[in-house]
Structure 1
Amino acid sequence: MELALCRIPSARISSKHRLCLNHPHRLPSRHRLNRLPPFPTVRRAAWPKTAATTSASTVGAGVAAPAPAPGSYAAIYQQTAPGVVMISTAIARGGARSFSQAEGSGIVVDKQGDILTNAHVVSGATQIQVTFNDGHTATGQVKGVDQSADLAVVKVSVSADQLHPLAIGNSDTLQVGGTALAIGAPFGLAGTFTAGIISGLNRSTTAPNNRALTGMIQTDAPINPGNSGGALLDGQGQLIGINDSIQSPVEGNVGVGFAIPINRAESMLPSLEKGIAIEHPWLGISGQTLTATTAGQLGLSEKSGVLVVDVVPNGPSAKAGLQADGQPSANDDVITAIDGHAITAIEQLTQYLDTKKVGDRVTLSVTRNGRHISVGVILGNFQAQPTATP
């Protein structure tokens, strides 16, 4: 549910230096918030043998590893590692023999063979291979994709005893400072386990089609290219998020990672599993948070709110009569409230839209050339735009 077709970079949560955790060939420049690309298969590593995948773990030849203490990280890893897979993709590159390969991660969510991952992990894939914790592989088929939420479901046909769904936690009850544990395949190193804390909540990032993603979990648990679609767990080993992107000036982990909350993903799973398109309410504008400094520079009477910078032709807001010059100017409308809820930042507007449905009517309080007016908008379904930068 996207308030704007795009967001001006200054309104984003530090949109600079973001790295995707997925396809290496899609790695954006170092000055963007990047989605974690899957790692090239040239660096592929086999799943490590652990106590979860062998009859007896050993420290050395003939020496059995001691059982991990209950509740320890080692115990959590042994319990959850079988529920995280590596996803290898092949993507055609203009010819029958021209293709690239990359790797990401996925999460087993049921005994029917459904694997939850990021949309950008499987985007454009012509072949998908899923590697389980015990080394077994299976061909995967994309069942559903939602680019606007950066989520996808891959289906595999394997026996139920090979599938180990992770226990689902509650991302609505998370607190900053809580334990955050990540499992995935960074740089093709399958079954990698890292630990940190929840560093922030309700962050805003951007989906592959440039729709704004709100309510994201921020963590300092190390995640890198190849971690995309992998699990973010709490201190009890319950799934709380799907690792998605990092903010970095070096195309690698610097302690600022983002995960999609599991509660959001869980609500979309039934549609993704059935391949049903998911609609996301949309105003059809580009905007930025209006600060007192920007207001002063533009000579605006309103000092806070959302500055409407552009309006998508024939979009919901265009039909409702919202106005903008295509770049910040004194003629742009300023949204100060929606349905009576005061708005001082673009994230607030987007988050409110996330509670609505396509076809709902919202009332915007707008300041236009010093005058206060109300504008009713019927929300449309999000449409990606070439210049969108939410």
Structure 2
Amino acid sequence: MRDPFAPDFFETPVAPEPPAPVEPVQPVPSFPHRPARSMAAAMLAAGLVVGSVAGGAVGAVLVSHRNTGTSPNAVATVAPGVGAPAASPGSFAAIYQQAKNGVVTINASTSSGGPRSFSQAEGSGIVVDTQGDILTNAHVISGANQIRVTFSDGRTTTGQVKGVDQSADLAVVKVSVSADQLHPLPLGNSDSLQVGDTALAIGSPFGLQGSFTAGIISGLNRGTTAPNGRALTGMIQTDAPINPGNSGGALLDGRGQLIGVNDSIQSPVEGNVGVGFAIPVNRAASLLPSLEKGVAIQHPWLGISGQTLTASTADQLGLSEKSGVLVVQVVPGGPSAKAGLRADGQASANDDVITAIDGHSITTIEELTQYLDTKNVGDRVTLSVTRNGQHISIGVTLGNFQAQPSATP
């Protein structure tokens, strides 16, 4: 469920104490430079858990129409002829100076003609090449008919949506500016992250462009939900403060390399409470070429709604199986319905329980979704199912994800 933030809500994030300075960063590869209109395997793909809200414009979350020139930020000035002190190599300040030009602010406006039919959403974006491609979240630009992109130096231009994948909560916006204005961020490796690693976020929370917050990786392989209800797995969890407007911005490691795209927060109070989520950069890299081309991206789908079965739930329902995925609903006409999976529409003793897929043991719905993400639409999988105490196998041909009222793998 995406819960819009109140426009006047503001919370000043408090960054944790920075670690000791690290060794100077060596140059690392950025997104591959390529001729105009050619593709490169470069970067990005997110989401949002039930009870969480997008860290930027969710669908069309309204934000304060705040003039950045009158924002409450204090602006440091330097007297003419006096240079600003240089940041220590490897410090957070040095990382910010290196990365800030690779993150932009995105304003997405929607108007259907009437005097009360105008809305504006605000988020962030990441420069991915020198051809004008900007990566952001799908929910930032969803439904917009006018997009403005503002760079760190204050220059603004219009943007055109090139590709959108609601199931991954990713989109690419194209801008027409000179190559020297585009500063792609160096790529890290999201597969090598560990809990406790440094996490640094750059974005435009509440319209405060170029805001920089620090924290750590506080969890890995988290599950959230995309704007269209598709379950997302493998998300990066961080306590680096993420707020409305951060969506689509950069999550960096301690060397200033891009490791994720800030996507959402989980909060019961409509503000940052230290649980933010980012889309891993490695996942994004595999989707970027299709997004740049505007090609529709397919995601394999079983067509069920389910929940992780715990021993206590199994005892309450009188199920012999004590772990797996309890199939609560089978989408009519979907792949699993055609294959013969059964469910009552609510948790009951008559529901099928999936215990394995293609011989791989399944104990949580996140494990099931993660396995499906390794498959393609049209692939056939074999489900090990417990039904009324009996063990059976059911073959299912995976379909392409279709948005449903509730998230379905």
Q: TM-score, normalised by structure 2?
A: 0.84
Match of 1:42 in 2: 65
CA positional deviation for 1:102: 2.2
> What amino acid maps onto 2:376 in structure 1?
K
Match of 1:104 in 2: 123
The aligned runs of 1:13-162 (5 Å cut-off) are 15=49, 17-23=51-57, 26=60, 37=61, 40-46=63-69, 58-60=77-79, 62-93=81-112, 95=114, 98-162=117-181
Match of 1:168 in 2: 187
C-alpha distance in 1 between matches for 2:389 and 2:288: 46
CA positional deviation for 1:91: 1.0
C-alpha distance in 2 between matches for 1:14 and 1:212: 9
C-alpha distance in 1 between matches for 2:101 and 2:299: 33
1:143/1:152 contact within 8 Å kept:
yes
1:267 is the counterpart of 2:286: yes
> What amino acid maps onto 1:65 in structure 2?
A
CA positional deviation for 1:46: 4.8
Classify the secondary structure of the residue corresponding to 1:349: helix
2:56/2:205 contact within 8 Å kept:
no
1:302 is the counterpart of 2:302: no
C-alpha distance in 1 between matches for 2:390 and 2:82: 79
Q: Residue by residue, what CA displacement relative to the aligned partner does 1:326-351 show, whole Å, maximum 9, x if unpaired?
A: 11111110000001011111110000
Change in CA separation of 1:387 and 1:157 when aligned onto 2, cut-off 3 Å = same
CA positional deviation for 1:388: 3.6
Q: TM-score, normalised by structure 1?
A: 0.88
CA positional deviation for 1:97: 6.8
> What amino acid maps onto 2:154 in structure 1?
G
Classify the secondary structure of the residue corresponding to 1:95: coil
Classify the secondary structure of the residue corresponding to 1:309: strand
1:143/1:274 contact within 8 Å kept:
yes
CA positional deviation for 1:215: 0.3
Larger relative contact order, structure 1 or 2 (CA cutoff 8 Å, min sep 6) = 1
Structure 1's unaligned 5+ residue stretches are 1-12, 27-36, 49-56
1:316 is the counterpart of 2:350: no
Classify the secondary structure of the residue corresponding to 1:63: coil
Change in CA separation of 1:324 and 1:24 when aligned onto 2, cut-off 3 Å = closer
Classify the secondary structure of the residue corresponding to 1:74: helix
1:331/1:369 contact within 8 Å kept:
yes
1:87/1:131 contact within 8 Å kept:
yes
Classify the secondary structure of the residue corresponding to 1:64: coil
Match of 1:33 in 2: none
| Alignment: residue pair count | 359
CA positional deviation for 1:40: 2.1
> What amino acid maps onto 2:213 in structure 1?
T
C-alpha distance in 1 between matches for 2:218 and 2:332: 39
Match of 1:285 in 2: 304
C-alpha distance in 1 between matches for 2:221 and 2:203: 23
CA positional deviation for 1:100: 1.3
Change in CA separation of 1:168 and 1:46 when aligned onto 2, cut-off 3 Å = farther
C-alpha distance in 2 between matches for 1:162 and 1:220: 31
CA positional deviation for 1:389: 6.8
> What amino acid maps onto 1:251 in structure 2?
E
Percent of aligned pairs with the same amino acid: 78
Change in CA separation of 1:46 and 1:71 when aligned onto 2, cut-off 3 Å = farther
Classify the secondary structure of the residue corresponding to 2:94: helix
C-alpha distance in 1 between matches for 2:172 and 2:244: 20
Match of 1:367 in 2: 386
Change in CA separation of 1:115 and 1:315 when aligned onto 2, cut-off 3 Å = same
> What amino acid maps onto 1:19 in structure 2?
V
Match of 1:29 in 2: none
Runs of 4+ in 1 over 3 A off after TM superposition: 13-17, 57-63, 387-390
Change in CA separation of 1:387 and 1:273 when aligned onto 2, cut-off 3 Å = same
> What amino acid maps onto 2:52 in structure 1?
R
2:225/2:407 contact within 8 Å kept:
no
1:201/1:218 contact within 8 Å kept:
yes
C-alpha distance in 2 between matches for 1:388 and 1:336: 20
2:229/2:408 contact within 8 Å kept:
yes
The aligned runs of 1:343-354 (5 Å cut-off) are 343-354=362-373
* Greater strand share, structure number: 1
C-alpha distance in 1 between matches for 2:235 and 2:269: 22
